[in-house]
Amino acid sequence: MQMKIVVIGANAAGAKAASKAKRVNADVDVMLIDRGSFISYGACGIPYYVSDTVTDIRELMSTPVGVIRDANFFKKVKGVTVRPQTEVIRIDRHAKLLYLRDSLTEEQATVAYDRLVLATGSSPVVPAIDNVSLPNIVTVKSIEDAHLLKQAAITGFNACIIGGGLIGLEMAEALRQRGMKVTIIEMQEQLLPGVLDREMAFLVEKQLRVQGVTVMTGCRVTGFSGKAIVEKVHIGEHEFPANLVILATGVTPAVELARVAGITLGTTGAIAVDERLRTSDPSIFACGDCCETTHLITGRQVHIPLGSTANKQGRVAGINVAGGDASFCGVIGTSILRVFSLNAGKTGLTETEARANGFDVETVLSPAHDKAHFFPGAKPIVIKLVAERMTGRVLGVQAVGEGVVDKRLDAAAVAITFHATVDQLSQIDFAYAPPYSAAMDNLIVAADIMKNKRDGQGRGISPEEVKRKLDANEEIILLDVRSPGEHLEAGIEGATLIPLGMLRERFNELPRDKEIIAFCKVSLRGYEAQKMLDGAGFTNTKYLDGGLLAWPYGLRAAYTI
């Protein structure tokens, strides 16, 4: 008898699982069920449709050659039967029956299965805030959301984005490109929590402000008000105008169907699966945003919903449900986004995450151009490297800048996955030519700085720690070792200028009983200054990690002469 495979959920994970199952075993009968009108679309592309970067919504629902991925496509090309606008209301695991309801006619039916794949995805978090159901308060999840957002993105109007995560920042760019006035409200003290550490997130925040976006961190929305549509956002006693509100407060795994059926949920609240993506029921698999997975660094279960993970898991689930043998070992949380002219992302653990998971870590900031500095188009990026202090194992890399960061993150992701140390990272044979990188790639430089730091040769201090010292009025000497011309352009208020080439002959101008922190644009000269001071007998010297390129706070304005 022909084996019947049913997949619930027809987007990234589900569509991939159904298609792969049929390719693995042409004899199986595969059915794909989804409660939506549109299937197999790229929700990650919605901000770019809203901004008009992608002008035709059908591009988000088509193959690379322009064929729409609809029910007819899946039937004729993939050999998969699709039932859109059909909701699965109950799973009877003992009888292996699905109870269905047609979204248009309300008619009910049953479908039998031999094996089942749950790819029910995730649902946007809608916070319990007064009047959150007012029109023009929108999530960013579906094709219907995309149409509504496009219509509501009116030049000159006010948009408020609740949540400063990946989707919130992508939507901020999209709406600014449409000419809207944009405010981001994030209840945590920084943007991109869980993606970037504070000092790296501040670099992104600076870019948003430059582009005219109002950023409010450490604020909690308490309500909305309006008549026909939303008109104001309330934060305590304060209110702000808003003709459009985007809820970008995260997602939660859509597991109610699984929970009612008695399928085990994991510690994250998502469906628990093994490496083969099998659930607690041997006949049922799960993939995508609805299930949890293992973090390859911490070994803990995590729920990190990303389209890339969903597609990889869909492939594995499709192979296994059709009788093959594949495994999905886990993730390290790699993510990336563009914020206007800035690129930002991370792989592995941030410093905050690493410490929270019990790691004793060392960190460095390393700014440099993404290609040879003399090559036209070279642009700066800042890398933050997080490593385990004792072993030197690379735990995480963050990168922010106008230059190319994705290839650094991808290379770091490989290194982290295979447990590389900073010593090994510094020796990797990366491709080099001036149009692509400096002779010493950014990652290699970051690894070498970390090696120096672990060997006690370099004593970098983070911008955040320097700012804390300044705010506390500690008696420190900020030593600017740039040229007089650079010093005139901009700098840190209160810094003492002694150009590096003159430092040896001016040692006597510096107090030996105070902490001296040297800096330049990228702190290469700052590090040289620290070593020179050490050699002259100064005992409390450091350099500013990352230099002025990594300094996320305000700078003194240029002097006028």
CATH at residue 498: 3.40.250.10
Q: Are residues 118 and 10 in the same domain?
A: yes
- Write down the residue that tokens 């002008």 correspond to: 55
The answer to whether residue 157 scores a pLDDT higher than 90 is yes
The pLDDT of residue 332 is 98
Q: Are residues 144 and 105 in the same domain?
A: no
**Contact yes or no for 509/477 (Cβ under 8 A):** no
The pLDDT of residue 559 is 58
The answer to whether residue 185 scores a pLDDT higher than 60 is yes
Q: Are residues 529 and 423 in the same domain?
A: no
- Tell me what the pLDDT averaged over the chain comes to: 95
Q: Which residue segment(s) compose the domain that 515 sits in?
A: 460-550
**Last residue in a domain, options 190, 222, 249:** 249
Q: For the chain, how many structural domains are there in total?
A: 4
Measured CA to CA, the distance from residue 66 to residue 555 in angstroms comes to 49
DSSP secondary structure code for residue 188 in this structure: S
Per-residue burial over 290-326, b if 16 or more Cβ lie within 10 Å, else e, is bbbbbbbbbeebbbbbbbebbbbbbbbbbbbbbeeee
Residue 179 lies in a domain: yes
- Write down the residue that tokens 């995508």 correspond to: 288
* % the chain with pLDDT above 90: 91
Residues 491-525 have pLDDT tens digits of 998 999 999 999 999 999 999 999 999 999 998 99
The pLDDT of residue 1 is 74
> Of residues 458 and 223, which shows the higher confidence score?
223
Residues 276-310 have pLDDT tens digits of 999 999 999 999 999 999 999 999 999 999 999 99
pLDDT (average), residues 262-276: 98
Q: Are residues 429 and 470 in the same domain?
A: no
CATH at residue 13: 3.50.50.60
Residue 175 lies in a domain: yes
**Last residue in a domain, options 435, 454, 473:** 454
DSSP reduced 3-state for 255:
coil
Residues 318-376 have pLDDT tens digits of 999 999 999 999 999 999 999 999 999 999 999 999 999 999 999 999 999 999 999 99
Q: Are residues 390 and 538 in the same domain?
A: no
The answer to whether residue 561 scores a pLDDT higher than 60 is no
Q: Are residues 217 and 197 in the same domain?
A: yes
Q: Where are the alpha helices (DSSP H) in 231-361?
A: 256-260, 307-321, 351-356
Asked about 219 being catalytic, the answer comes back as: no
> Of residues 558 and 167, which shows the higher confidence score?
167
The answer to whether residue 244 scores a pLDDT higher than 90 is yes
Q: Are residues 496 and 464 in the same domain?
A: yes
Residue 557 lies in a domain: no
**Last residue in a domain, options 234, 249, 264:** 249
Q: Are residues 484 and 414 in the same domain?
A: no
- Taking the CA atoms of residue 20, residue 26, residue 31 and residue 36 in that order, the dihedral angle to the nearest 10 degrees is 40
**Active-site choice (44, 287, 291, 520):** 44
Cα-trace Rg, the chain? 27
Cβ of 415: how many Cβ atoms within 10 Å? 22
Beta bridge partners of 367: 382
The answer to whether residue 6 scores a pLDDT higher than 70 is yes
For the stretch 551-556, contacts whose Cβ atoms lie closer than 8 Å and that sit 24 or more positions apart, written own/partner, are: 551/463, 551/492, 552/199, 552/200, 552/202, 552/203, 552/205, 552/206, 552/463, 553/202, 553/463, 553/467, 555/490, 555/491, 555/492, 555/493, 556/490, 556/491, 556/492, 556/493, 556/495
Residue 244 lies in a domain: yes
pLDDT (average), residues 393-398: 98
- Nearest CA among 174, 169, 134 for reference residue 155: 174
- Nearest CA among 444, 365, 334 for reference residue 198: 365
**Contact yes or no for 246/149 (Cβ under 8 A):** yes
Q: Are residues 10 and 35 in the same domain?
A: yes
Strands (E), 370-475: 380-388, 394-401, 460-461
